[in-house]
């Protein structure tokens, strides 16, 4: 049985940080409402997660399945910390990686229509421990679509790690096993999370203004 472990909860009234006091690319300096989660905090929390992953999944070869594009940076950093754990502990397990690309957003709204638009043959997951790595879970509909697709390959175990989980009234009740941060229902960008392909090159997780949502609208 999967264990839901504690995570960092960010309150609804979190004020965040003034972008002027942190390192922000100049081309976004005037466009961010606030820095919501600084990069250093993201890295510290990500470093903590592999211990939880290994306790639950470390008995068998793990396939880490990255959900592109937004999950890529979190995926890469998480795997670096898992590899460090493997190097520095007596007990270690082999790990391989795979990728799948999904699309569910138009501008800042989830369409509810989840499309798989890229990825390898999922039959290679058969009989494996699979760790799905996501950037953000809001309604949970993406996982509601993806999990049955991977489970049909008779996995030994499947677990989900997400950097962010939103508290939203539109959720379907799904919660991943490993969570970095639980956040209010705000549209966030940065750390590879994008808005119509923009803002992927921010290190921090940030909130953009309503005016800039209009500016970068597809």
Domains belonging to the chain, first-starting first, are: 13-215 (3.40.50.2020)
Binning pLDDT at 50, 70 and 90, where does residue 75 land? very high
Q: In the annotation, is 121 catalytic?
A: no
**pLDDT of res. 107:** 47
Q: Give bridge partners of residue 32 from the DSSP assignment.
A: 208
Cα 34-35-40 angle, rounded to 5 deg = 170
50, 61, 58, 65: which is closest to 5 by C-alpha?
Answer: 50
pLDDT digits (tens, 9 = 90+) for 85-106: 888 877 778 889 988 887 665 5
pLDDT digits (tens, 9 = 90+) for 45-73: 999 999 899 888 877 889 999 988 778 89
Asked if pLDDT for residue 117 goes beyond 70, the answer is no
Instruction: Return mean pLDDT, the chain.
Output: 84
pLDDT digits (tens, 9 = 90+) for 5-35: 778 999 999 889 998 899 988 888 788 889 9
Averaged pLDDT, 70-78: 90
Asked if pLDDT for residue 39 goes beyond 90, the answer is yes
Averaged pLDDT, 123-129: 86
Active-site residue, selected from the candidate residues 120, 138, 185, 212: 138
């Amino acid at each position: 049985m999967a264990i839901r472990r504690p995570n960092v909860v960010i309150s609804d009234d979190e004020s965040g940080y003034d972008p002027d006091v942190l390192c922000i690319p100049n081309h976004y300096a005037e466009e961010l409402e606030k820095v919501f989660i600084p990069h250093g905090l993201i890295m510290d929390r990500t470093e903590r997660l592999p211990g939880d992953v290994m306790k639950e999944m470390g008995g068998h070869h793990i396939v880490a399945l990255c959900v592109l594009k937004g999950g890529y940076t979190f995926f890469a950093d998480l795997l670096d910390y898992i590899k460090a754990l493997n190097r520095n502990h007596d007990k270690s397990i082999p790990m391989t990686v795979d990728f799948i690309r999904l699309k569910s957003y138009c501008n800042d709204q989830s369409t509810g229509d989840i499309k798989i638009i890229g990825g390898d043959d999922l039959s290679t997951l058969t009989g494996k421990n699979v760790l799905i790595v996501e950037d953000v879970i809001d309604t949970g509909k993406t996982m509601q679509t993806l999990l049955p697709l991977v489970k049909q390959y008779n996995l030994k175990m499947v677990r989900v790690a997400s950097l962010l989980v939103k508290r939203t009234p539109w959720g379907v009740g799904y919660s991943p096993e490993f969570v970095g941060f639980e956040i209010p229902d705000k549209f966030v960008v940065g750390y590879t999370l994008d808005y119509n392909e923009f803002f992927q090159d921010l290190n921090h997780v940030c909130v953009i203004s309503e005016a800039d949502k209009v500016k970068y609208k597809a």
